[in-house]
Chains A and B, each alone.
Chain A
Amino acid sequence: MNIFTISYKNLRAKPLSTVLNLVLFATGIFIISFLLLIKNQFENHFEKNIAGVNLVVGAKGSPLQLILSSIYHVDYPTGNIKLADAEKLKQNPLVKQTIPLALGDNYQGFRIVGTNHDYAKLHKGELYKGCLWKIDFDVTIGAKVAKDAQLKIGDHFAGVHGFMAEGGDKHNEFQYHVTGIFNETGTVLDQLILTNVSSVWQIHSHHHHHDGDADADADEDDEHGHHEESIAGEHHEEADTAREITSLLVFYRNPMGAISLPRNINKQTNMQAASPVVEMNRLYSLMGIGIQSINLIAFVIILISGFSIFISLFNSMKERKYELALMRVMGGGKTKLFTIVILEGLLIAVTGFIVGFVLSRVGMLAISSYAESNFHYSMGNLFNAKDDLVLLLVSIVVGFTASLLPAIKAMRTDISKTLAE
């Protein structure tokens, strides 16, 4: 028998109101905790994948779309830019490094990216097995690709046009050859198939001859059935001017680049420059309004539950006034009575917190398995010590405040008057 048992038994004696208070409290905590998790998850993901890229240069269109397609590989690309134009940028003294990206195909939903070895370095991709791609149609694949598509070193496969696993035309005449597999990096690299740019060019070159449409265009109507006649060697002879890439990742030599480079590109060329950080912040602020209003609702739920705890405790003080007087008579000091009631409030709050906390993690796991199967996006890191601690503190404060008045009432019970009634 101790003070904790007494509080616990008192709550147990009123199962209905205790459950109601618990459900209310846990719901509030669940919503907030869940939102925080999702927000952190996305922010983490977004920040990690930016990987220091200062600027993305691509075809004109939505800057956000350009960032989403070139950095996160989720949206469709905006179109293509001429390789020659991109090469010119490389010469700019403000530019330290550039990485080309040529998109357009996928294998089982995993994007095939034509690029150079710097892109692997950018995401700190270390080889788990094999080696990086050397010649045309060699590919090095991300850890998740290897696992989900069950590709091994030495395997051959054909890409599918577009970014959907089904529906695009298969480039059967060109077989990719797996030469390496990356270790898991926790970045978008895990879900990519990397090859050189020229492989992508060769597959799509036939297309240029006919209509000059964008390689990486998402247009599913593209005719791609005529590659039988194409000979790889032919395409290498193509003039550089005709060659296109989807986008160019740019790193500044110094911060001065941020001031003039994007403006110059946007004004003077038919390309578009977008900063990943600026675009992602724009996206956050758009999402922010929604997240904030849901957060507000959750806090209101927690407040209501605090109020409900207060009312149940206050009412039970009325019913229990004889018991409280009795405890005083039996030698229980005022502080003990005060503590018993405060503990009742805290017990509900902390239990509610734990229930909400666990539920939000379960919800997150469910969402993440859904996201993984549908978007090839895996989410890890279910704990954020700082946020969880703040939420626990909020719970304790609400529980304490809600039980403060009833506890004072309990402490001030006039024993003689109560027992004489």
Chain B
Amino acid sequence: MLQIKDKKCSIARFLITKDMLTVKNVEFAYNQANSFRFPDFTCQKGEHWLIMGASGCGKTTLLHLLAGLLRPSKGTILVDGIELNSLTNSQTDAIRGKQIGIVFQKHYFIQSLTVAENLSITRYLNGLKITKQEIQDLLDRFNIGGKMHSRPNELSQGELQRLSIARAMINNPSVIIADEPTSSLDDKHCVEAITLLRQQAEKTESALVIVTHDQRLHPFFTNSTQLNNAKQ
């Protein structure tokens, strides 16, 4: 895997030095009647992109493609210079775990584990370690330091949202993708959430891609693309 990475990296460095996420001619088909074509875009290191689209135009599909959960039927997706399609399943698992942080629309957590354990398992699954202090610092950064030993079901929606973001950041990923992070929030919390996401992404210089239909997010982004009439 390292060899592939090195090879791809050298090619990537030669062509476009700081590209973190590249989508090129990507198409995906669940079946003949249900297929999508996605606009090309490139997200550079530290750049923030907004991908807008109405329901059913393939937002979640695109997010799953970017995360390597689905494989495109055509085209290429490069994460930090590595083409996802060229990797085996377990290599994709490893890349996804270490390089990509995902904030889901629904707040999925492992209910049998505490907040701190939910964070440390993310490290563990990628063969990384984390100290209690590091977890505490991270939670403090997201203003949920007091909830370290609570269960996910004891947290409020806003706290879960922040925990989701914290978890996406924990491995210092090069790319953070968020699926509708604000759609269920009121205006005040919407601003809070998007500010937090942007702040934290800036801190780690990660590329941030937000896939949403929430028009309120427009003013915060300079780079945006529209998933329009994506259905063929």
* Identity of the chain B residue whose Cβ is nearest the Cβ of A11 in the assembled complex: B112
Q: How far is the CB of B42 from chain A (nearest CB, A)?
A: 24
A311-354 interface code vs B (CB 8 A; 1 in, 0 out): 00000000000110111111111101000000000000000000
Please provide the chain B residues from 47 to 84 with a CB less than 8 Å away from any CB of chain A in the complex.
Answer: 60-61, 64, 67, 69-70
Known A-B contacts A9-B113, A331-B98, A332-B93; A1 and B108 likewise in contact (beta carbons under 8 Å): no
Please, which residues of chain B bring their CB within 8 A of the CB of A334? Answer: 89-90, 93
Contact A333 B120 (CB under 8 A): no
CB-defined interface of A295-320 with B at 8 Å, one 1/0 digit per residue? 00000000000000000000000000
**Could you tell me how many residues of chain B have their Cβ less than 8 Å away from some Cβ of chain A?**
32
Nearest Cβ distance between residue B219 and chain A, in whole angstroms? Answer: 29
User: Assuming A13-B111, A329-B102, is B69 touching A336 (CB within 8 A)?
Assistant: no
Is B104 interfacial (CB-CB < 8 Å)? yes
Question: Hey, which chain B residues are within 8 Å of A329, CB to CB?
Answer: 67, 69, 96, 102
CB contact between B111 and one of A5, A323, A325, A330 (< 8 Å): that residue:
A323
Q: Which of B60, B64, B90, B120 has the most CB of A within 10 A?
A: B64
Closest to A421 in B: B106
B46 at the A/B interface (Cβ < 8 Å)? no
A contact residues around B90 at 8 Å (CB): 333-334
Are A332 and B69 in contact, with the CB atoms below 8 A? no
Chain A residues with Cβ below 8 Å from B70 are: 416
Verify B69–A419 contact, CB threshold 8 A.
Answer: yes
One of B93, B112, B117 near A1 (C-beta < 8 A):
B117
CB-CB < 8 A to A293: which residues of B?
none
Also in contact, A420 and B121, with CB within 8 A (given A13-B111, A326-B108) = no
Smallest Cβ distance from B57 to chain A, in angstroms?
14
- A69 interface hit (Cβ, 8 Å): no
Partner of B113, one of A6, A332, A420: A6
Q: In the complex the two chains form, is A327's CB within 8 Å of B112's CB?
A: no
Give the A interface residue count (CB, 8 A): 25
B172 at the interface (CB under 8 A from A): no
Cβ of A91 < 8 Å from any Cβ of B?
Answer: no
Report the minimum CB–CB distance from B95 to chain A (whole Å): 8
Q: A9-B112, A9-B113, A420-B64 are in contact. Are A327 and B121 (CB under 8 A)?
A: yes
Which chain A residues lie closer than 8 Å to B167 at the CB level?
A: 330
The complex places the Cα of A10 from the Cα of B67 at a distance, in Å, of 27
Q: B residues within 8 A CB of A419?
A: 60, 64, 69, 104, 108
Q: How far is the CB of B90 from chain A (nearest CB, A)?
A: 5
Which listed residue, A2, A6, A10, A331, touches B93 by the CB 8 Å rule? A331
Complex-state Cα separation, A9 to B102, whole angstroms: 24
**B125 engages A336 (CB within 8 Å):** yes
Q: CB distance A332 to B125 under 8 Å?
A: yes
B64 partner residues in chain A, CB cutoff 8 A:
416, 419-420
**Contacts A333-B90, A416-B64, A416-B69; A327 near B110 (Cβ below 8 A):** yes
- Sample (27) of A-B pairs whose CB atoms are under 8 Å apart: A1-B121, A1-B124, A5-B117, A9-B117, A323-B108, A323-B111, A326-B108, A326-B109, A327-B110, A327-B121, A327-B125, A328-B93, A329-B67, A329-B69, A329-B102, A330-B122, A331-B96, A331-B98, A331-B122, A332-B93, A334-B89, A336-B125, A416-B64, A419-B64, A420-B60, A420-B61, A420-B64
With A1-B123, A330-B97 given, name 11 new contacts (CB 8 A): A2-B124, A327-B121, A327-B125, A329-B67, A331-B96, A331-B126, A332-B93, A334-B89, A416-B70, A419-B69, A419-B104
Closest 9 CB pairs of A and B: A331-B97, A13-B112, A332-B125, A416-B69, A1-B120, A331-B126, A9-B112, A1-B124, A416-B64
